[in-house]
A and B are shown apart, each in its own frame.
Chain A
Amino acid sequence: MFDELTDKLEGVFKKLRGHGKLSEANIKDAMKEVRLALLEADVNYRVVKRFIKDVTEKSMGAEVLQSISPGQQIIKIVHDQLVEVLGGEAEEMILSSSPPTKIVLVGLQGSGKTTMCGKLAKFYRSKNKSPLLVAADIYRPAAVDQLKTLGKNIDIPVFHVDKDPPKISKKALDHASDNNNDVVIIDTAGRLHIDDALMEELKNIRKNVEPHEILLIADAMTGQDAVNIAQEFNRRLDLTGVILTKMDGDARGGAALSIKNVTGKPIKLVGTGEKLDDLEVFHPDRMASRILGMGDVVSLVEKAQQTIDTKEAEKLEKKLRKESFTLEDFYNQMQQLKKMGPLESLVSMLPGAGNALKGLKIDDSAMGKVEAIIQSMTPEERAKPKIIDGSRRRRIATGSGNSVVDVNRLLKQFNMMQKMIKKISRGQMKDFAKGLFS
């Protein structure tokens, strides 16, 4: 999906090369594509509108960085803005200095509240707390049984009594202080945000318990209605935060942006699987990448900016033009690449590489072998590989701990590479990469 957006943006910017700044017109065209991507990710229509307006203003007149394409640069601006709106830094769960810490989970039916209760209980126990689960869903058939079973499986006590959720919650607090539970997690029944009677019940629970955290549990697959749901829950209950569930699916999760936008409340945690350990801190940057439907291209762009020396790159370009690319240059290139991390992850971050390099196993150790062989050459040999005869090959092989066959193969590949460099284009990248590391 990322390829789709990048390709579209590259298409928009095809004519832009050579310009120093992004113009109003090309930003507008680019924003059309970004808008579609956000809508397809289920970000609310109105939220998208506002977002596009903000990001357009930010992009106007931005310098086109030399190291990356304008398309990628727009993605970076959009991405950064998304991260900012989603909350910048990860925000932690509140732990009260005077226990017990009281937590209430609320949300629609089927958003995953009960499962999340189990996950939170485990989470707090791993922090040496003693949690108590409270079954305040008296409506859904077998909801209390579900929480009891969960509690039994992970050996966490479950409190349940009566038929009145606000009263249950209050009694649970007494029970907690009697039993030295320093975290109380209250599971409430799923309800529609427009169900006045049930929303009133939650208000009463809130009043009785005075929770430190009252969290909306929201399904990552939620569509446009996420704004109405979040707004209503927040208006009536003044939430302290949000937990996104079912993030292990393939939904793009635009609801996260909508919810954050209309409530202003932090997204604190995400549920990432069926097991009770599948709970993670919310990372705005990862969420932004996911909403845009892309791999981690922003990190790649940043890494490239940090590690590739512009002057070095210019020198190399000149050499490539003159076809004077030597083994020494090749070696230096490898060092530059290595600074950016393991090859496999690097390739996975490359736009378009996903398909072009499918089925190609990239082995970092193969690179180590190549490195060792080149290191065992004299400067003269590196500059003029042609002088490497049989006896030199044997010496290099022994010196680098490889066989002559390996040395032969490298020299042959390098020879091919020199020829290929002349005609490198995007379409031939696959053969190029294969030749290098197979």
Chain B
Amino acid sequence: MKFSFKRLVKGLSKTKDEVFGKIRTAIGMHQKIDEDFLDDVEEILIKSDVGVSTTQKIIDGLIKANKLEKPQGEEEILELLKREIGKIFSVNGSQPESFFAIDKKPYVIMVVGVNGTGKTTTIGKLAKYFHDQGKKVMLAACDTFRAAAVEQLEIWSQRSQAEIVKSAPGGDSAAVAFDAIQAAVKRGTDVVIIDTAGRLHTKLNLLEELKKIKRVVNKAHPGAPNETLLVIDATTGQNGVRQVKVFDEALELSGLVLTKLDGTAKGGIVVAIADLFDVPVKFVGLGEQMDDLDEFSERDFVEALFK
């Protein structure tokens, strides 16, 4: 599946209409990069959750580029702005060419995040994504904590035709992960996706549990997990930065999934995150249906903001 630019634009349409459309209005009004224009840019970026310091960085870059290049008219100014935002993404290394080089069997993906960001839904969508590529997928229901989390994953496994390994409620989550990987090795499964309990990153003992799952997974299958993805809700404010920091320190994240981009939230927090961490966004979630998942492209993301 290629990155569906159209869908992202559709998902971001409210964004575009309500806020980023204003950039054009602002440029139309000012026709040049002056104080008022920069104020408008600041408002737009901060209101997208880009955060104060990253916004300032973008504006500083814009001022500098303006002096050198003296852009004329709407299109050139817009180009310059997009380029400055793009720079934030590319400082910490550009986006990977391919999202998952499924070079191991089984290829193990561990999915983590705070409560309510949409981990289980994302896993359902990922299962479908790999199933569509002709892969055999297995889900490991390691959220043994939240009421009915296993049932929720089970429904997604049926929808996406993936196998599922689970235990009784309150069971040992690491043991479930271990069983899943052993079963996957035996059955020749291509991809194992591990669902974990939603945990606020401030709960240290619960982060320990995630670390344990990771250790056990690694023991069961050296090199695994091949991916550790943090799911972030697009409505999240500056706390998203803290989430990445804490989860990355504990688990060494390989990527992010930005969910709920079909609302009015702009997801600008990923710009702030890109400014500080070398953890690329890999997917965006755009709805509750199984196909509402797209590969993320930084260029298209920035582009879509201004379309």
**Cβ-closest chain A residue relative to B147:** A149
A-facing residues in B43-96 (Cβ within 8 Å): 43, 46-49, 51-52
B237 adjacent to A224 (CB under 8 Å) = yes
Q: Chain A 142-181, CB within 8 Å of chain B: the 1/0 string?
A: 1101111110010000000000000000000000000000
Q: Cα distance A245–B194 when bound, in Å?
A: 26
User: A221 at interface (Cβ–Cβ under 8 A)?
Assistant: yes
- Chain B positions 222-276 with a Cβ under 8 Å from a chain A Cβ: 233, 235-240, 242, 260, 262-266, 268-269
The A40-69 residues at the B interface (CB cut-off 8 A) are: 40-42, 44-46
In the complex, the answer to whether B200 meets A246 with C-beta atoms within 8 Å is yes
Query: Which chain B residue has the least Cβ–Cβ distance from A150?
Result: B147
A254 and B152 contact, Cβ closer than 8 Å, known pairs A44-B47, A112-B115, A193-B263? no
A30 part of interface (Cβ distance < 8 Å): no
Total of A-B residue pairs, C-beta within 8 Å = 141
Nearest Cβ distance between residue A135 and chain B, in whole angstroms? 11
Instruction: Take A109-B118, A146-B146, A248-B202 as given contacts and tell me if A141 and B155 are in contact as well, using a CB distance cutoff of 8 Å.
Output: yes
Q: Is B156's CB under 8 angstroms from A141's CB?
A: yes
For residues 84 through 125 of chain A, which have their beta carbon under 8 Å from a beta carbon of chain B? 108-112, 114
Given A109-B116, A146-B148, A221-B114: A248 and B200 within 8 A (CB)? yes
Chain A to chain B contacts (Cβ below 8 Å), 22 pairs: A40-B52, A42-B239, A108-B235, A110-B118, A141-B155, A142-B154, A145-B148, A147-B147, A192-B262, A192-B264, A193-B264, A194-B14, A194-B263, A221-B236, A221-B239, A223-B268, A229-B235, A229-B264, A246-B114, A246-B115, A248-B202, A251-B238
Nearest-CB residue, chain B, relative to A145: B148
Instruction: Give A149 to B168 CA distance when docked, in angstroms.
Output: 13
* Extra 9 A-B pairs, beta carbons < 8 Å, given A109-B118, A193-B264: A145-B151, A146-B149, A192-B263, A194-B14, A229-B235, A246-B115, A249-B201, A251-B237, A255-B237
B51: which A residues are within 8 A, CB to CB? Answer: 40
Minimum CB–CB distance for B44 against chain A, Å = 9
Cβ of B291 under 8 Å from chain A: no
Q: Which of B52, B169, B238 contacts A223 (CB 8 A)?
A: B238
Nearest Cβ on chain A to B229's Cβ, whole angstroms: 17
One digit per residue, 1 when the CB lies within 8 angstroms of any chain B CB and 0 when it does not, for chain A 217-234 equals 001011111101100000
Annotate B271-288 by CB proximity to A: 1 below 8 A, 0 otherwise.
000000000000000001
Chain A residue at minimal CB-CB distance from B51: A40
Interface core residue of A112, A194, A226, A274 (most chain B CB under 10 Å): A274
Cβ of A366 under 8 Å from chain B: no
> Any chain B CB within 8 A of the CB of A340?
no
Cβ of A250 within 8 Å of any chain B Cβ, yes or no, is: yes
Say if the beta carbon of A36 comes within 8 Å of chain B.
Answer: yes
Judge whether B151 and A224 touch: CB under 8 Å.
Answer: no
Task: Decide if A225 touches B115 in the complex (CB within 8 Å).
Answer: no
Given contacts A110-B116, A194-B14, contact A249 B152 (CB under 8 A): no
Contacts of B186-204 to chain A: CB distance below 8 A: 200-203
Q: Which residue of A lies closest to B242 (CB)?
A: A250
| Cβ B236 vs Cβ A141 within 8 A | no
Q: Is the interface of B mostly helix, strand, loop or mixed?
A: loop
- Name the one of B43, B116, B262, B269 contacting A45, with C-beta atoms under 8 angstroms: B43
Least CB distance, B25 to chain A, in whole angstroms:
17
Residue in A45, A142, A254 whose beta carbon sits within 8 Å of that of B155 in the complex: A142
Listed from nearest, the 3 A-B pairs whose CB atoms lie closest are A223-B237, A110-B116, A42-B237
Minimum CB–CB distance for A140 against chain B, Å: 7
**B79 CB, nearest partner CB in chain A, Å:** 25
Are B152 and A142 in contact (CB-based, < 8 A)? Answer: yes
CB neighbours (8 Å) of B118 from chain A are: 109-110
Majority secondary structure of chain A interface residues (helix, strand, loop or mixed): loop
Which residues of chain A are within 8 angstroms of B49 by Cβ–Cβ distance?
Answer: 42, 223-225
Residues of chain A at the chain B interface (Cβ within 8 Å): 36, 39-42, 44-46, 108-112, 114, 139-143, 145-150, 153, 192-194, 219, 221-226, 228-229, 246, 248-252, 254-255, 274
* A223-B265 contact in complex given A36-B52, A109-B116, C-beta closer than 8 Å: yes
Across-interface contacts of B297 in A (CB, < 8 A):
none
The answer to whether A225 touches B202 (Cβ under 8 A) is no
Residues from chain A with a CB closer than 8 A to the CB of B169 are 149
Q: Does B117 contact A (CB under 8 A)?
A: yes
Cα-based distance from A45 to B151 in the complex (angstroms)? 41
Tell me the complex Cα distance, A425–B190, Å: 66
Please tell me if the beta carbons of A249 and B14 are within 8 angstroms of each other in the complex.
Answer: no
* Interchain CB contact under 8 A, B264 and A141: no
Question: Given the complex, which residues of A lie within 8 Å of B242, measured CB to CB?
Answer: 250-251
B52 touches A39 (CB 8 A): yes
Which residues on the A side are within 8 Å of B203 (C-beta)? 248, 274
Q: In the complex, what's the smallest C-beta–C-beta distance from B157 to chain A, in angstroms?
A: 10
Complex Cα–Cα for A321 and B51 (A)? 48
Q: Given A223-B269, A224-B47, is A140 in contact with B116 using a C-beta cutoff of 8 Å?
A: no
Alpha-carbon distance A219/B62, docked complex (angstroms): 34
How many angstroms from the CA of A224 to the CA of B262 in the assembled complex? 16
Q: How far is the CB of B208 from chain A (nearest CB, A)?
A: 15
Interface-centre pick from B147, B154, B200, B203 (highest chain A CB count, 10 A):
B147
Least CB separation from B113: chain A residue: A110
- Name the distance in Å between A294's Cβ and chain B's nearest Cβ: 17
Query: Is A145 in contact with B239, judged by CB distance below 8 angstroms?
Result: no
Q: In the complex, what residues of A have CB within 8 A of residue B154's CB?
A: 142
Is the Cβ of B147 less than 8 Å from the Cβ of A145? yes
